[in-house]
Copies of this chain bind each other. A is one copy, B any other.
Amino acid sequence: MNELELIASLTRSLPGNAFIVVGAGDDCAVLDCGQPGRFLLFKTDAVVEGVHFTPEAAPEQIGHKALGRCLSDIAAMGGRPLAALVTLALPDNFSPVFVGRIYTGLNALAQRHDVAIAGGETTRNPERLLLSISMVGEVAREKCILRSGAKAGDALFVTGELGGSLAGRHLEFSPRLAEAQWLTAHFSIHAMIDVSDGLAGDLRHILRLSEVGAELLARAIPVSRAAKLRARGESSSKPPLLAALGDGEDFELLFSVSSGDAVALLDAWNKQFPDLRLSCIGRITEERGLKLRDATGIHSLESHGYIHFA
């Protein structure tokens, strides 16, 4: 049983109650706690030394990344973050200065987005640092965007550029909160997710929950400079397009809107966010499965992330 199968089996029978609007399976859990016109968003995310960052990462970057991952998930619901708790599991050889610098990075990002750090705890984890963030946020009920709302015919968009994030961007990315709030305020966004597992993997979450398929245009996928440089520099590295499809940790927004809104959205976006690329990368199809169209034809994208040239 791999991790995904384990999660699937565990989440099939979780206890619910009347407060849950959306439980496990979206970017955040959604609760109805009686706030007039609003839902509560609830999220947790952890980073582990040697898994999500190397010992070379600056402590400020570790704090930034841990908080930023949760903020990115709040953004993907169209939400606004309110407060976070910090769980810091420290190795036996921890240095207070190092821990202080983690908080410096974390607090700076929190202040930029007006998120309160409402406490948390420290505990021991003898061999390695683990930093887990819990976050609550809120969203207007009619502006809460799920993964499950994509419709056949929708245009698919992604912000920024994808691939090669592990070269450095994964420690310094900007969660797309303002962008997501602007999108939901001005357009009817059908489905949204943040790109953390990789474009193909995260798109598959939308497709599965929306019960649709998609066709991506290879030349429209925005490949990051880091992915291109890496492909050029190392003979063994993967082609840049595959990096953009599969690398993960981009923390960009992937969303779908009615095709009729696509041109107006692109126009308005370019005026509002001239420094952040927005790409229309394909469309939602009634036919299930994920396909990639390039100059040589249409190819199936297998679920392990590699292209199957049929």
Contacts and interface: CB of A to CB of B under 8 A. Distances in A.
Contacts of A3: 122
A178 interface: no
Contact of A34 (B1, B6, B13, B36): B36
A48 B122 contact: no
Given A6-B96, A110-B15, A87 B46 contact: yes
Closest 8 A-B residue pairs measured CB to CB? Answer: A24-B119, A29-B118, A134-B134, A14-B117, A17-B116, A44-B85, A1-B96, A127-B127
Interface string A35-78: 11010101111101011100000000000000000000000000
B35 A33 contact: yes
Interface of A: 1, 3, 6-7, 9-11, 13-17, 19-20, 23-25, 29, 31, 33-36, 38, 40, 42-46, 48, 50-52, 82-83, 85, 87, 89, 96, 99-100, 103, 107, 110-111, 114-128, 130, 132, 134, 136, 138
Given A1-B96, A14-B107, A119-B25, A126 B50 contact: yes
Contacts of A110: 15
Given A10-B100, A34-B35, A123-B51, A42 B85 contact: yes
A111 B93 CA distance: 39
B120 A24 contact: yes
A48 B87 CA distance: 12
A73 to B, nearest CB: 10
Contacts of A123: 46, 48, 51-52
A37 to B, nearest CB: 9
Contacts of A132: 44, 46, 87, 132
12 contacts: A14-B116, A15-B115, A16-B116, A19-B116, A20-B118, A23-B116, A34-B35, A42-B83, A44-B120, A48-B123, A48-B124, A52-B123
Contact of A42 (B1, B122, B136): B136
Contacts of A128: 125-127
A82 B125 contact: no
A107 B13 contact: yes
Contacts of A138: 33
Contacts of A103: 10, 14
